[in-house]
């Protein structure tokens, strides 16, 4: 991978979603900030075509119950897109929101040792979600675990129902 194999812009299409809670909005801001600070993202070549060079922009949305990755170049010209079924993510996202709710509640009223235990569970579910994402991206995007973790956070944000 080269120094240009990275994301330089990320936009979420949250049209039609309810306004996020402050906690969900904070998760979104942190994930995007962390991705802009450091990420690894490249498109693989296909058969007889070479991959368009990075850096890339990413437009994430949900359309017709599918996760859509729209990829652009620096000039915001589309260079590729693909759709992923949301089915493999449904349960892990539900579990992630449930444990996040417990975590945000715990931060307000529980001692640090109990908060830490819940946070370890939250990280475990988050890692599981990012692993599913890595598997689903195979052959479509070349990325690393940390980038997949942050992208999984953004996928969860797009699933927020209020």
Report, as an integer, the average pLDDT of 10-17: 87
pLDDT band of 143, cuts 50, 70, 90: very high
pLDDT for position 1: 58
Report, as an integer, the average pLDDT of 74-87: 93
pLDDT for position 131: 97
- DSSP code of 48? T
Reply yes or no on whether the pLDDT at 162 is more than 60.
no
pLDDT for position 15: 82
Reply yes or no on whether the pLDDT at 6 is more than 60.
yes
Q: How far apart are CA 145 and CA 143, in angstroms?
A: 7
* CA–CA–CA angle 136, 140, 143 (5° rounding): 80
């Amino acid at each position: 991978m080269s120094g240009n194999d990275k994301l330089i812009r990320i936009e979420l299409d949250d049209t039609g979603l309810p306004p996020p809670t402050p906690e969900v909005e904070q998760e979104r801001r942190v994930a995007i900030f962390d991705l802009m600070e450091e990420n690894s993202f490249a498109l693989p070549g296909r058969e007889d075509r070479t991959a368009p060079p990075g850096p890339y922009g990413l437009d994430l949305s949900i359309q017709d119950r599918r996760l859509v990755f729209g990829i652009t170049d620096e000039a915001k010209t589309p260079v590729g897109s693909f759709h992923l079924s949301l089915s493999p993510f449904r349960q892990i996202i539900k579990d992630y929101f449930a444990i996040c709710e417990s975590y945000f509640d715990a931060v307000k009223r529980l001692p640090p040792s109990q908060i830490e235990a819940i946070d370890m569970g939250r990280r475990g579910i988050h890692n599981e979600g990012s692993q599913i994402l890595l598997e689903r991206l195979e052959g479509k995007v070349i990325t690393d675990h940390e980038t997949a973790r942050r992208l999984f956070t953004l996928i969860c944000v797009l699933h927020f129902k209020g």
